Amino acid sequence: MPLARFFPKKPKLFPRARGQVSLEYLGITAFFLAMAAIFFAYSFSTFGYNKNLSLGQDAVSRIGSNADLAASMGEGSRVSFDVEFPDTAQSLTIYNSYILMRNIPGSGSPNVYFYSKARLSPASIAVRQGRTTMSAGFSDGNVVIG
């Protein structure tokens, strides 16, 4: 004797409910994937800007702090240090206590500056992207960056 006779089938109240639920899950998943794509595109577009800005700020502050170190060590002292310039860097201008790194116009990155405590010899240095070894030497009351 079949068991179906003792356990009759329940009538389906909503025969298409299973398809509707899967369609709703598909819609919710598509919505979250679209939101994730928007956040990913935004973070990818702002990463380059933030990287160049932080590299530029680190470069000029490293030059300024090493100039201060050379001045504090006294006459005839020389300090060598590594600086990493961003790919948008164009030139480095040094005047009195002011260090300015200019970026390529139209790159979207602002110019970055730093004020040193030491008096700096005026100079204009062409920079290139990447890590560079520079030096700061103290002579005649001025720090010479090279």
pLDDT value of residue 7: 63
In this prediction, residue 59 carries a pLDDT of 93
β-bridge partners, 81: 134
Structural domain spans, the chain: 40-145
Res 106: pLDDT: 78
Per-residue model confidence (pLDDT) at position 48 = 80
- Per residue of the chain (146 residues), give pLDDT as tens: 565 666 666 666 555 555 566 788 888 999 999 999 999 999 888 888 888 889 999 999 999 999 999 999 989 999 999 999 998 899 999 998 999 999 888 777 888 999 999 899 999 998 888 999 999 999 988 899 98
Residue 84: the pLDDT is 93
Q: How far apart are CA 53 and CA 75, in angstroms?
A: 34
- Measured between alpha carbons, how far is 15 from 39 in angstroms, rounded to an integer? 39
Pairing of strands 112-126, 89-103: antiparallel
Cut 0.75: pTM above it: no
CB neighbourhood size of 92 (10 A): 22
Distant-in-sequence, close-in-space partners of 123: CB < 8 Å, separation ≥ 6: 92, 93, 94, 144, 145, 146
